Amino acid sequence: YFNSDGNESSMCGNGGRCIVHFAQQLGIFSGESTHFIAIDGPHNAWIQEDSIVLEMSNTAEMRVLDNGDFEGNTGSPHYVQWVNQPLPLEEIQEKGFGIRHLPQYEKEGINVNFVAPLTENSIWVGTFERGVEAPTYSCGTGVTAAALAYASKTKSQAENNRIFIQVPGGNLIVQWKWINGK
């Protein structure tokens, strides 16, 4: 996968879901499950009713930064910042660009996710993606990072470890499994 700036991307969660759907439509696999290899390693995927379920790689840790924001890698590097309410795309552009171009992220880049809690089990996420250098309507690795950061921050006891997520492009669900309590 290549970003619009021409550089090879790291894992693209939404791209993974799209390729699974496309492969099924082309008849490359039959049934409800498949697997593929991405830049970050192997992924399993399932087609369940009208949804594509993608198993992401294990995330070592979402680190809490001194300012209370989070940083981690869910196949792509992500910075998670808390906001009080969903932001318009113009504000995601301005704030995301500023964080993405901080000296510690300038060379490799980082995706920036803004997260606003909606209910106990739902959040809004807006993402500024490196390589695209703009907000995107959805980011699969970004909503994964946001869900894990939210669960870590709130010690969420979300039913079935599942968070409902609103993004500018629609709705997603992230479900996780803690390994060794992390």
Cα–Cα distance for residue pair 153/136, rounded to 1 Å: 24
Cα–Cα distance for residue pair 166/28, rounded to 1 Å: 31
Beta strands 134-136 and 162-167, pairing class: unpaired
Catalytic residue of the set 38, 115, 139, 143: 139
- Bridge partners (DSSP) of residue 70 are 64, 80
Catalytic residue of the set 11, 12, 20, 45: 12
Q: Phi and psi (nearest 5°) for 80? A: -115, 120
Active site residue 18: no
Active site residue 139: yes
Amino acid at 26: L
State both tokens at 80: 């998670």
Sequence-distant (6+) residues with CB within 8 A of 103 are: none
- Bridge partners (DSSP) of residue 136 are 127
Centre a 10 Å sphere on the Cβ of residue 63 and count the other Cβ atoms it contains: 12
The residues annotated with a catalytic role in the active site are 12, 139
